Amino acid sequence: MKKTLFTCLFSLSVLASYAINPAEGTPASTNIPEAVYPCVDANSRATFKLHAPEAKDVKVDICGKKYDMSKDAEGNWMATTDPLVKGFHYYFLLVDGVQVNDPASETFFGCGRQASGIEIPEDAQTAAYYTFNKDVAHGQVRECKYYSATEGGERRCFVYTPAEYEKNPDAKYPVLYLQHGMGEDERGWHTQGMMANILDNQIAEGKCVPMVVVMDYGNCGYIFGSRPGETRDQFGATFTQVMLNDLIPYIENTFRVKTDRDNRAMAGLSWGGHETLEITMHNLDKFAHIGSFSGALFFLADGLENAYNGVFNDAPGFNSKVKTLFFGMGSEEGFGSDKISDALTKAGINHKYYESEGTHHEWLTWRRCLNQFLPLIFK
């Protein structure tokens, strides 16, 4: 008991070193309670602080750059970054060469592990679409467990229901299956992606229809190459049967959702975009709305005419089935969605293309993509 109490008191004394009003900016919204560092200044520079008196070398690794931290007489290490791209970023501390999480940051599942994260804020007006608004009605995000006969075990998904779901017990809703990317999991869209705020705000403004949103694990929460012998085609591919045979039946038996293809959509970011097209293009009898956000898409390599068993060869037939086909990416990431859009245009395939100005392969890109995608579906 004494050891536990001592440990707690020691932790509080270390945390107290963070709780000094910094001149470097405002505490990040992603900090743990009462932690002042990391903080972000008006020029989007982040200042980090770590109490590690025994350490010999400490760095902060963020946005592809490692910054050396300087140590003061009390054993506090600090560093200020260059201006960072606005939005959410994973980061790590390197303490004597060991990659660790920042004890002052909340952790988020990304990069195939629990990671520190920091939000570099946009101005309030720009960020309004994904910011909590006290003046609108708010839906619920539920953590659900279900049994997968495909895998022979328990699985978890998160399900968003709109604010009116409880008030209209006879109403049924369209459903969007929304997938995370490589190295992330079913929590990503709710935490890093701010999807509930985006849905709440759009529904309140009449920009999108009320809908149920399902976020499940895409079986790609590790970094490709971690599993020996796994091919690119095998990576995450087991999710297809889970979704078709287990997840969709579970949702349709548990929630009041419409079950026809016109009221079923799927979208995903990065590898989730790849999974989205793999599932939907081979099952157009089940999906009428499709979205890829910075999708890891490779189907142009063998020619558009050979993609997904030639699904794009009959443009009139495809266009009559698929009500929404959306591709989006950040202007700075070069993920190829623009080339895919050009090829589809030449082939006569109806679709929408969106480019997020100034963003990379990151959550701000995907928040913006979701914000553009939602008004298109179920109309």
Q: Cα–Cα distance between 180 and 110 in angstroms, integer?
A: 10
Collect all residues with Cβ–Cβ distance below 8 Å to 206 and sequence separation of at least 6: none
Residue 301: the pLDDT is: 86
- Same domain membership, residue 199 and residue 99: no
Residue 6 lies in a domain: no
The model's confidence at residue 302, banded by pLDDT at 50, 70 and 90, is confident
Residue 10: the pLDDT is: 35
CATH at 258: 3.40.50.1820
**Beta strands 98-100 and 87-95: pairing type?**
antiparallel
Residue 2 lies in a domain: no
- Same domain membership, residue 354 and residue 250: yes
DSSP one-letter code for 121: P
Whether the predicted pLDDT of 256 surpasses 60: yes
CATH at 102: 2.60.40.10
Please state the rounded mean pLDDT for residues 58-82: 97
Burial of 326 (0-12, 13-18, 19+ CB in 10 A): buried
* Last residue in a domain, options 86, 121, 156: 121
Whether the predicted pLDDT of 151 surpasses 50: yes
Q: Cα–Cα distance between 105 and 318 in angstroms, integer?
A: 47
* Last residue in a domain, options 62, 94, 121: 121
Please state the rounded mean pLDDT for residues 65-82: 97
Report the candidate in 168, 164, 251, 170 with the shortest Cα–Cα distance to residue 199. 164
Structural domain harbouring 365: 133-376
Please state the rounded mean pLDDT for residues 73-98: 96
Residue 23: the pLDDT is: 62
The model's confidence at residue 5, banded by pLDDT at 50, 70 and 90, is very low
Among 1-5, 123-127, 150-154, 157-161, which is the least confidently predicted range? 1-5
Collect all residues with Cβ–Cβ distance below 8 Å to 176 and sequence separation of at least 6: 211, 212, 213, 214, 265, 266, 267, 289, 377
| Chain mean pLDDT for the chain | 93
Report the candidate in 359, 357, 284 with the shortest Cα–Cα distance to residue 324. 284
Residue 21: the pLDDT is: 52
DSSP one-letter code for 81: P
Please report, for residues 109, 124, 136, 154, 163, the alpha-carbon distance to residue 132 in angstroms, rounded to integers and kept in the order given: 22, 11, 9, 32, 14
CA-based R_g, the chain, Å = 22
Residue 335: the pLDDT is: 84
Residue 2: the pLDDT is: 41
- Same domain membership, residue 167 and residue 116: no
Residue 343: the pLDDT is: 95
| DSSP characters over 169-185 | TT--B-EEEEE--TT--
- Same domain membership, residue 237 and residue 176: yes
Whether the predicted pLDDT of 17 surpasses 90: no
- Same domain membership, residue 148 and residue 88: no
Percentage above 90 pLDDT, the chain: 91
Indicate the number of domains in the chain.
2
